[in-house]
Structure formats: structure tokens, C-alpha cells
Structure 1
């Protein structure tokens, strides 16, 4: 984590202000609506809504597909349905409905038809057809329980035909909705100016009659209804709260209610509509469909209500749709007003402040962390903030979601750009300058502390890795210098990549030799396991290079690797003017000797007992011998790693078991039997061939009683 200076603080503030201001500016106001859509979807997915539709204060009577397919409506013009509509309206009113609102408009009457019918227009022959319907409208309207709908427009207004207007004494309210620039309905108007006076919209009028109150303008300038100050982020609108995604509104098929009225089942109408606000509207697949803030979550055309007379139609299971029937937009508004849970949206200043604050947090994080860490932090912060916003939305508070997310992402990108261009320029120069000479971890410490590296070291438990190519001198004599350099670069690059990918640090190259350590500079509790795993991978990689790399063709390179674990001094070692990050100790010397000891046993990898012990049961091993290396008096038990545990081949397992048996006989001074056991494997295993020769020699000339089964290596 880098330190933050004064310049960084200024940059963080400026970046946060710029990002917040851009993403809350008027040209990007559509993001506010998108936040509502996403919050609605997340709330529906994460929290859901289990409200019983039976408790809804609003119900819908649907002129639906079933109605169009059921006699007497099937095949007849909708203008001829008025008598049946009147009968059903009367039954609903008698059932105790508080108020009935029309989301359908009949702009003309069959009595006005100019279609020729015999020697006179059809309308002339149908005079009086709507009389019963108009009487029903008058009777229900006189009780204050009926409101017809209209569409206000300067160009194409749509109103009920004149006789209906007179019948209801102008109890007519606007059905217009508030559509955002992206053609999505998220808010509903509260009133319209008619003849210079504010007139409530359909939803407000229905809610007011249901509550027995009148809408008023409160001291704050917001409309109030029954002491409820309606929140309005956009003036004179209500932000819709689709809490139940439409499934919380009972929906009755008009065809079933018509049959129920004909049957005279007054009890059903009382159970269904007593104390309810009733909306009459169409629910069809291709008519009056509205995109709302449920467009991402999917909305429902109500919840099927109990039936009265007709059986439920088969195959009518509901599915979520991106659009809903328009009548449910009005139903949601009425319910929000009655239950006082319309969505509250913070004002412009609050949204901007919240957006800038989140952008500032991410900019600060991006200033301290590397890009990958900063992106991870951004994802975590946005996830936490989104969870908080969904929780707030469950209580009808719509915090901005998209604006802070995008502003903080922009702040993240700008801060990374700022660091790349300005702040980290000096650091990159130092890293580039020292990258080929110091361990990455040492450079990190130097950058974090602001100090240049100095002489000094510390004791660490590490695993040393020594490797050397076999017979390299003779190969070097047979190829050109250019070919030699190409070969060595390919080999050293491949081995270094494996070592570093397992957490190792390459200390130095000595010709064709590699000296590396595991467990420093970075702490690594599993350094022994990683070193052994790297050695096995290096051995596999060399076989692959010999087989497929053109630079290795015909050379058949082989290498020896020695591994030893123990305490060592690691740090900056050298003169006061020039030093390297390196390692020193007897642990290093032993690893070097074990690398050379491979040539006596014909093995590729040899590890000390301390390394084997620190790997636990991660690998399959075979014990090779107990040896005494040059310059060291104490004997060392040495082992060969075969493969990962349970991944060794059958051949390796059999070889290890037979070798262990032979070694046990050897140490028990049963040289003849040891020779027989080792001889069986001698042809395929150089180490067994070595012990077979030793055992034969000692079987012919037994050693003295003080003999110890330790092989003394005279060379390196």
C-alpha cells in the first residue's frame, strides 16, 4: 500500500468532484430512472413481497381475452357491451365498493353509428340502446362511487361520449401518465390544470374518495392527502412503488362477473368488492401495455381472483413480462396513496453529495492500492452499497444506485490514470532500475519506506535450490556462441519462470547453474513443498524442451538439482557501495553438495532429510542413502522426490519399495541379499546399480565390525 501525499489528496478531491458532477448532471438524468428500475428488480429478487392479495385495498376488473372469447361478447363490437357493463357495475356498487374508476373510455355510442342498415343508419334503429347503461352510471355517480376516465391532450383529447359525461355530471378525471424520456413510466401525475384550476388525476381522486379526504397543498408546497405529504422528486408527481410487482392486486375477469351477476350471486360481489377501490380496465396482450420501473424485474397483470360462475380457463398461468397492462399503473398509484408508501427520492443536492462521497472513497482507495486491488475494492464497496440501497428501498427510500456506481468507476479509472502519468512515474523508474538486481519484495519495501536498500541481513528458515546442467562444457564446445546463448536463454528462462511461479527467488546464475531460495524475501511457510514441486516441474519442463524446442534438438540436456532446508542469513550482503540481496549459511553449502551428489546415484533431484520432513506427506519419496559430503563431518540422509503423493506411477512405486528393501538389507550388513535385490533393478535404475556393485564388493570382503552405512563423497 503506497503512502498518500498532499498532491494525491488534492487529486482525489478533484477527481471525486468531477466524477460526481458529471454523473448527476441533467444530461445523464436518465440514470436516476435506471436506478429505480434496478432497485425494483433487486428488491423483488432478494427480498420479494409476500402480501396477501386479499388485503389489497384496490382490485381490478379486467376486460380480458376471456371476455372477448365468451358469449355474449364474442364477435360483437365493444359498443354493444354497455348494457352488460352497466349490470356488472351495479352489482359491484351494491357489493359495497368504495369507488369505481374507469381506465377504459367509450368515446362513441352504438346509437351514433352511421353504418347503413336497411333504409336508415344503424344508429337510428338502435336509439335507446344505452339507456340502461346511462341510468346505471347516473345512479352510481350520484352516490359518489363512480369516476370515468379521459385523456387530456391539446391535439387529440379523448373523452367519454357526451351522454356519459352528462350521466356522471362530469365526474371525470385524467388517465394521463408521466413518461420519462426513455419512454418508461416511473411516476404518476397528481393533478392537471383545467380551466386554470388544479384537478386531481384519476388515481388521486379514487384514493381521496376511498379515504374520505380531499387533496390539499401543504406548507411545503407538496400535495397532502389524509395528512400524508406525497413525496415528489419531480414536481406534482408520485414515484410509483411496485412493491408486489403487480401480484398483490386481485384481478377479476369481466366475463366471470357478468355471469355471476346473471346468476344473482350477491354474496360473491360483497365478498369481492366490499370496501375496495375498483378499477375497470383492459388486460390484453397487445393493447395498452406500459413499460414501468418493473421492466427489468418483470411485472404481472395482477393475481387471479376467486371465480364466481365460469370455470377458470386452462393454460392461463401467469408469467413475468417487461410491460404490464396500463390499469395496473393506476392501481399501484392508488394503493401507494392509500397505504402511504410511495417512493421517496432524494433531491438533486443529496444525490450529488452521495455520489461524490462514494467516488471520493474509491478514488482514495485507488490512490493507495494497486489497480487489481483497487478494482476488487470497488466491487466490494459497490456490493455493500447496493445491499444497503436495496434495504432502504424496502422502506420506500430510493437511494441513487447507478450514478454512484458509474461515478466511482470513473474515479477509479481517472485515479489509475493520474498515478500512471504523474504520481507513480518516479516509482516506476526506480522499479525499472532495480528490477534486474533486487528481489521484487525488497523493492516493495524500499518504495513503502521511502528508503534506499542498505547492508544487513536476518536469519530465516529457507529451502535452497541448486541446479546445474550435466556435461554442459562438452556441449558448449560443439556449438557456436550464438547457438549457446540462445540455448542458455531458453533454458534459464523456462527454469526461472517455474521457480518464480512457485514463490522462489532466483539469487544468481553461475554459467549454466541456478541458485534460488524459497522462503525469502517473502515469507512462505510452505517453502519446502514449493521448492520440491518446482524441482519436479523443472525436470518435466527440461524433458519437454528436449523433445520440442529446436534449440535443444540433438543435445539431450539433463540437469541435477539439490535441495536443502534450514536456517540461513538472507539480506543485502556485499560492500558499502555495491551489494546484492542474497543468502549465506551452511544450508546453502549442503544444497550445493547435494546437487553434485546426483551424479554418483544417476538421479536428477536430491533433497536432504530436513527438506523431506518439512514437506509432510505431500510427495512420494525414496530414501537414497546416508552420505557425508566434502567439508562436512555429519552424515546426511538424502532422498529423491518421485511425484506428488498418490500420483506416482506403478513403476515408481515398485522401484521405491524394492530399493527400500535393498537399503534395509545393506544397513543390516546382509550384503548378499542386498546385492540380489539391487541387481533386479540395476539395469533400469543407476542408483540400484551403484548399490549392487557396493554390495557385491562388501559381500566378497566384509567390512570391519565398526562399519557404518554412510557413503563418503570425495568430490563435489
Structure 2
């Protein structure tokens, strides 16, 4: 996972802000409607809300296909249905209906027909045909039980014919709907301005009469009905809550009700309509179909109600449709008002904040993760947020859904572009620069730590590692070029793998020599310990290669390793046109000299006192001597690592104790005693054997009083 800095956070915030502003801007306002559609579909799929139609406060009397196929309506113009309408409406009212609303408009009467019929127009011969119907309308209207519908329009208004208007007087309300730019109905108007005064819409008027209250404007500007403050994201509208997808509204066929009147079954009307709000509307496959928020989930034209007189017609199983009959839109408004569960949408500021916040979370994820990981994070977080949004929508709160999802997806794309162009430029450079010099995990650690090597050079505390094969020149003379290359490739590969596995960086190969450093370019506080471990492992690996690898057979290769820790300049050093990542300092020179000093003590690994001190108590050591290497006046105490602390063998413990005794006597000028101590283990330790000879020589020819126990080495 990539670390992010202040610049990245600022970039993520800016990207999220821009993405949120774009996807909640007015040109993309359709996304708000899309969110409602998706939430409606997800709620239906996941929550599966099914409400008992019997509890519905509103029912629909449907002028449906059955009506058109049933006498006396079959083959008759709708203007001739008025007498039957009056009879059915009277029975519904007697059954206890609270109020009846018309979602159909009869703009003309059969009495107005100009169709020739004999010597006079048909209308002249039908005078008085609507008399009983108009009387029924007047009675229902005067009792507050009836509201006719109309369509308000400057160009093509639709109103009931004049006689009906006179019969119901002022009991006419608008059926107009609120259609979004994509021709989808998601909200419904609450009122209309007529002659400068607000007049409730049809559905609001019916709900108000059922509740015995009038719509009022609260001080907040919201419309209230019987104490219910109607939420309005768009002023003077109600956001529809299609909780039951239309299946929660009982629907009765007008043809069956007309037959029920003929049958005289008053009990049926009482059971079906007592205490209900009744909507009369067309439910045909080709007439007055509306796209709503149910367009993705599919909606239903109600649930067939109980039958009274006619047998139920054979029909295909009811199925969900993208468009529903308009009368069910008005029925939904009534249910929302009566049950107080209209959808509450977030206002523009809150919607923008949610969108920006979600985009910011995803932008930060895209900043920390690889593109594939960021996309998976987007999928997971979007699914989690969608689940939260659906849970809120179950309680009629609509959180933005499409806007955050799309804004965050855009934020991912922009953030990936930002990282490629700006943020990860240095990382890519480093990965490319060190790809052939460092192990991938070391590069990853270096990048993740956020501590990159400064281009041009910087001071670092490092441990230098120098190794060289002993007597390799004479061995090489006995080999063919092919054998030599094979041997060197195997040796250098094995040693390099160990160095890199311990966090080291191979600076260069010089023939059979390896120059490496620990602690740069990747920052490593334990660089001294890792360098010593690598040296011990390299020594073990060379013994394994000598014993088992065909290329090493018969050569008995051995190497010397020098280790030294201290401050060094590391970085890209060279000419303007050609440079290498390398290291320079006295720390490097001392490590090189310690590698060569091994031959004076017949040891394989020699480390400075600085390196030994920086490893703490990790390893078992023995001090070899204090030496003065060529080119350096100050003496250096040198040590040999034996093994991990507690893992040294009995032989190593014995040798180290005897050697320490001899070295102490040597420094105290007790040369004879020192020789005796060294000779105890001289047969198993070449370093003790060599020191014993030196001690014997000084015991025979004592040094001058100014002698110091420092071995000055004359070669490299």
C-alpha cells in the first residue's frame, strides 16, 4: 500500500470536489432522478415490501378492457356511459366511500352530438339523456363527495363539458403531473395557481377531504396537511414513494360494479368502499400510460379487487411493466399523504456534500492502492453505500446514489492520471533505476517508507560490505573462458541473492570482488545486523557450493569479507552524462582494507568495532586485534563474527576464550604467556597459530618501551 503525503491529500480533495460539483450540477440533474429509480428497484428487490391491499386508503374503479368488452358498454361511445356511471357512483357513495375523484374527463355529451340521425342531429334526439347523471353529480358534489378532474394548459386545456361543470360547481381539480426532463414522473404537484390563488391538485384535494383538513403553508414554506409537513425537494411538489409498486391498491372493474348495481348487492359496495377514497380512471394498455420511478423495477396496475356479479375474465398473469396507468400515480400520492411516507430527498447542499465525501474516500483509496485495488475498493464501498441508501429508502429517505457512484468513479480515473503524471513519477524513476540492482521487496520497502535517496547525494549511516575470492587469479589460469564465466556467474548470483535478501544493495562487481552497502538506498535501521547476517550466510553458501555444485568441484574457493559501518555519501555520482548510484567516504575505504586484512589472520570475515557495536547483542564475536590499515593513521579494533548469539559451537567458544586470554596478555606485554594461551587452540584456529608465532618472536626479542599493541599492516 502506497503512503500518501500532504500533496496527495490536497490533490484527492480537489479531485473529489470537482467530481462532486460536476455530477451534482444542474446539467446532470437527471442523475438525481436516476438515483430514485435505482433505489426503488433495489428496495423492491432487497427489501421486498409487500403491503396488504386491504389496508389501502384508496381504491381504483377501472374503466378497463373488460368494460369495453361487456354490454351495455361494448360498441357504445363513452358519452353514453354517463347514466351507468351515475348509478355506480351512487352505490359507491352509499357503500361509505369518503370521496370520489375522476381521473377521466368527459369533455362532451351525447346531447351535443352533431352526428346526423334521420332528419335531425343525434344530440337533438338525445336531449335529457344526462339528466339523471347530472343530478347525481350535483348531489355528490354538494355533499363534498365528488371531485372532477381537468387538465390545465395554455394551449389545450381539457375540462368536463359545461353541464358537468355547472353540476359540480367548484369541485374540479387539476390532474396535471410533474414530468422530469427525461419524461419520467417522480414528483407530483401539490397545488396550482388559478386566478392568483393556490388550488390543491386532485390527489391532494381528495386526501384533504378524507382527512377533514385543508392544505396550509407553514412558516417554513412547506405545505402541511393535517399536521404533516410534506417534504419537497422541488418546491410545491411531493416526491412519490412507490412502496408497493402499485400492487397495494385494490382495483375494481367498472363493468363488474355496474352488474353489481343491477344485482342489488349493497353489502358488496359496503365491504369494498367503506371509508375509502375512490379514483375513477382508465386502465388500458394503450391509454394514459406513465413512466415513473418504477420504470427499472416494473410497476403494476393495482391488484384485482373482489368480484361481485361477473365471472373474472381469463387473462394472463399480472406482470410488471415499465409504464403504469396514470390513475395509479394519483393513488400513490393519496397513499403517501394519508400514510405520511412521501420520499424525503436531500437538498442540493447536502446531496453535494455526500457526493464529495464519498468521492474523497474513493480518491484517497485510489491514491494508496494500485488501479486494480482501487477499482475493487470502489466496488466494495459502492455496494456498502448502496446498502445503506436502500436501508434509508425503506424509511422514505432518498440518499443520492448515482451521483456518488459516478463521481467516485471519475475520481478514480483522475487520481490514477494524477499519480501517473505527477505523484508516482519519482517512484517509477526509482523502480526503473534500481530494478537491476535491488530485490523487488527492497525496492517496495524503500518506496513504502517514503524515504527516497536524494538525487545528487546525501549522508547516510551505512554498513559497507567488501568481498574477494582468495587466490582466484591462479585458479582462473587453469580454467577455460567458458568455465570461468560459468563459475563467476554462479558465485556472484548466489552471493548477490543473499545480500539482496538481507536488504543490501550491490554497488558494483570488480572482477571476483563484490562491493555492497546496507542502509541505502532503502532506509534500514538494522543495516549492521543485516550486513553481518549476510556475511555469515555468504560464507555458509560458498561452502555448500564447493561441496555440491559441479562448477566449483576441485577448486576449493574461499573468500574474504570486510565490514565497516559509518557515515557515507550515497547518491547519483558521476559525470553530467553518465552517473551511477554509489557510495563514497572513509567508511568505504576502511571496509576495503578490512577485507584484505583477513589474510593476516587467516579469517573469512572481519568487521570494525563500529559495526560490532551497532549489532548490539545479536551475535557472538571475538576481538581479533587492533590494526592500522594502509592509508589510515588511526588504529581500528577489528572483530570476527562467530554466529548468532547462543548459536556458537563448543569449538568456537573454546577458541574465543583462549584467544581473548592470549590477546589480553599480548596487550599487557606478557608475550610468553600470550603465546601459551594462543598455542592451546593453534592446531584448530589459524588466527591463534599466527598470533602465537608473533608472541614467541616478541618474547625472544622484546619491543621497545614505546611499543603499542597495534598491528600495522603493510599491504592491502
- TM-score when normalising by structure 2: 0.67
Instruction: Answer yes or no: is the 8 Å Cα contact 1:43–1:390 preserved in 2.
Output: yes
Identify if the C-alpha distance between structure 1 residues 324 and 580 changes in structure 2 by more than 3 Å, giving closer, same or farther.
farther
- Correspondence for 1:199: 199
CA distance in 2, matches of 1:204, 1:353: 33
Shift of 1:456: 7.5
CA distance in 2, matches of 1:357, 1:89: 55
Identify if the C-alpha distance between structure 1 residues 456 and 276 changes in structure 2 by more than 3 Å, giving closer, same or farther.
farther
CA distance in 2, matches of 1:434, 1:575: 11
Are residues 1:344 and 2:281 paired? no
Shift of 1:382: 1.1
**3-state secondary structure, aligned to 1:313:** coil
Shift of 1:152: 0.3
Matches within 5 A, 1:451-490: 451=452
- Correspondence for 1:572: 504
Instruction: Answer yes or no: is the 8 Å Cα contact 1:63–1:283 preserved in 2.
Output: yes
- Correspondence for 1:107: 107
CA distance in 1, matches of 2:402, 2:542: 58
CA distance in 2, matches of 1:124, 1:580: 113
Matches within 5 A, 1:385-404: 385-404=385-404
**3-state secondary structure, aligned to 1:294:** helix
- Correspondence for 1:2: 2
- Correspondence for 1:379: 379
- Correspondence for 1:266: 266
- Correspondence for 2:573: none
Shift of 1:105: 0.3
Shift of 1:590: 5.4
Shift of 1:516: 12
Shift of 1:50: 2.2
Identify if the C-alpha distance between structure 1 residues 589 and 157 changes in structure 2 by more than 3 Å, giving closer, same or farther.
farther
Identify if the C-alpha distance between structure 1 residues 287 and 515 changes in structure 2 by more than 3 Å, giving closer, same or farther.
farther
Instruction: Answer yes or no: is the 8 Å Cα contact 2:173–2:205 preserved in 1.
Output: yes
CA distance in 1, matches of 2:504, 2:53: 76
CA distance in 1, matches of 2:385, 2:134: 56
Identify if the C-alpha distance between structure 1 residues 20 and 79 changes in structure 2 by more than 3 Å, giving closer, same or farther.
same
Matches within 5 A, 1:176-191: 176-191=176-191
CA distance in 2, matches of 1:520, 1:293: 65
- Correspondence for 1:424: 424
Q: Which moved more, 1:18-27 or 1:176-185?
A: 18-27
Shift of 1:410: 1.4
| Greater gyration radius | 2
Offset from partner CA, 1:631-675 (integer Å, 9 cap, x none): xxxxxxxxxxxxxxxxxxxxxxxxxxxxxxxxxxxxxxxxxxxxx
Root-mean-square deviation (Å):
3.0
CA distance in 2, matches of 1:45, 1:372: 29
- Correspondence for 1:356: 356
CA distance in 1, matches of 2:394, 2:499: 52
Identify if the C-alpha distance between structure 1 residues 451 and 277 changes in structure 2 by more than 3 Å, giving closer, same or farther.
same
- Correspondence for 1:698: none
Shift of 1:51: 1.2
- Correspondence for 2:574: none
Instruction: Answer yes or no: is the 8 Å Cα contact 1:56–1:250 preserved in 2.
Output: yes
- Correspondence for 1:442: 442
CA distance in 1, matches of 2:463, 2:416: 35
How many residue pairs get matched? 506
Offset from partner CA, 1:43-74 (integer Å, 9 cap, x none): 01100212100000010010011111111111
Shift of 1:372: 1.6
- Correspondence for 1:134: 134
- Correspondence for 2:334: 334
CA distance in 2, matches of 1:259, 1:283: 19
- Correspondence for 2:297: 297
CA distance in 2, matches of 1:317, 1:167: 41
CA distance in 1, matches of 2:107, 2:488: 94
- Correspondence for 1:306: 306
Identify if the C-alpha distance between structure 1 residues 575 and 104 changes in structure 2 by more than 3 Å, giving closer, same or farther.
closer
Gaps of 5+ in 1: 458-472, 478-487, 489-507, 522-568, 598-716
Shift of 1:438: 2.0
Are residues 1:365 and 2:365 paired? yes
Offset from partner CA, 1:658-697 (integer Å, 9 cap, x none): xxxxxxxxxxxxxxxxxxxxxxxxxxxxxxxxxxxxxxxx
CA distance in 2, matches of 1:90, 1:352: 52
Identify if the C-alpha distance between structure 1 residues 513 and 281 changes in structure 2 by more than 3 Å, giving closer, same or farther.
farther
CA distance in 2, matches of 1:579, 1:233: 69
- Correspondence for 1:534: none
Instruction: Answer yes or no: is the 8 Å Cα contact 2:438–2:504 preserved in 1.
Output: no
- Correspondence for 2:171: 171
Identify if the C-alpha distance between structure 1 residues 53 and 437 changes in structure 2 by more than 3 Å, giving closer, same or farther.
same
Identify if the C-alpha distance between structure 1 residues 316 and 141 changes in structure 2 by more than 3 Å, giving closer, same or farther.
farther
CA distance in 2, matches of 1:575, 1:353: 52
Identify if the C-alpha distance between structure 1 residues 173 and 580 changes in structure 2 by more than 3 Å, giving closer, same or farther.
same
Instruction: Answer yes or no: is the 8 Å Cα contact 1:455–1:574 preserved in 2.
Output: no
Instruction: Answer yes or no: is the 8 Å Cα contact 1:15–1:411 preserved in 2.
Output: yes
